[in-house]
Amino acid sequence: MALDGFNDQTLSRRAMKAELLDAETELRLAYAWRDNGDEQALHRLIQAYMRLAISMASKFKRYGAPMNDLIQEAGLGLMKAADKFDPDRGVRFSTYAVWWIKASIQDYVMRNWSMVRTGSTSSQKALFFNMRRVQARLEREAQASGEKLDGYQLRHMIATEIGVPLRDVEMMEGRLSGSDFSLNATQSVEDEGREWIDTLEDDSAQSAELVENTHDTACLRNWLVDAMNGLNERERFIIRERKLREEARTLESLGTELGLSKERVRQLEAAAFGKMRKALQAQSSEVEHFLA
């Protein structure tokens, strides 16, 4: 059911005009959709309960999401409920649909609350939608009894009340404490337009480090060229094919090309590495690990 192009007032008026289904009609429509794929029966079932979806969506307006989007998500939840409803279980469709509608709306709210994912586990959802309410009640009760709760006590009581780990309460408290800000926003008028992104540490390589790495790379390249020049033509060929190609060739394929056994190619490779190691050690002890 596409809801694009309609505002929430229009959708509400249309939903209020929909028929009210009795239990027998509801059951007949559910069987027609499940057993025969009757799309008209599905459409009628969904239309009849869109007022329920809209009513539930209105309860989530305080989270700042557009009402039309909330109704859209509620409608999706209603359609999922209709698709999965089993009329043989003997429960009313509206009772079953409530859970799917609520889950769909909650998922949407949590996805759009922040650019940082707020959470998706059952405990995180319970915290997101209940923490502020439980916290306010606990604070009222403490104030009425003359108690004074510190932050740790309050978080611990919230965790116990909702039945979630304390670490989840601490995590959710931090995520709900502020909204998203652009890194290009200015810090304050006194900072002459300085943006928050200017305060981030630059983790890229610094000039001195770049020069040092370039120098070291050039030295290693020269040492390797000198070491390779100390090998005969067949040894250089084996080293190039085994170590300097993107996809190293196998000992067997090299043996076939050179007319040697696989074991002989392995011996030549080991001997070539031995020669190169000696040449590199003569240049610098820093590259002993290079051919290890």
CA 194 vs. chain centroid, Å, equals: 31
> What Å distances lie between residue 291 and 242, 264, 288, CA to CA?
12, 20, 7
3-state helix, strand, coil in the chain (%, to 5): 70, 0, 30
Q: Which fold has domain 208-287?
A: Arc Repressor Mutant, subunit A (1.10.10)
**Radius of gyration for the alpha carbons in the chain, expressed in angstroms and rounded:** 35
The answer to whether 32 touches 41, Cβ cutoff 8 Å, is: yes
> What Å distances lie between residue 228 and 54, 180, 236, CA to CA?
76, 57, 6
d(CA 133, CA 142): 14
* Two structure tokens written together for 96: 């079953």
Over its length of 292 residues, how does the chain's per-residue pLDDT go in tens digits? 444 444 556 666 777 777 788 889 989 999 999 999 899 999 999 988 998 898 888 888 877 778 888 888 999 999 999 989 998 988 899 899 998 998 888 888 877 765 444 455 666 666 666 777 787 888 888 888 888 878 778 888 888 887 877 777 777 776 666 554 554 556 555 556 666 556 555 555 566 666 777 777 777 778 788 888 888 989 889 888 888 888 888 989 988 888 989 899 899 999 988 888 888 777 655 555 444 4
* Two structure tokens written together for 248: 């190293």
Q: Which fold has domain 8-113?
A: Four Helix Bundle (Hemerythrin (Met), subunit A) (1.20.120)
Instruction: Tell me which amino acid residue 12 is.
Output: S
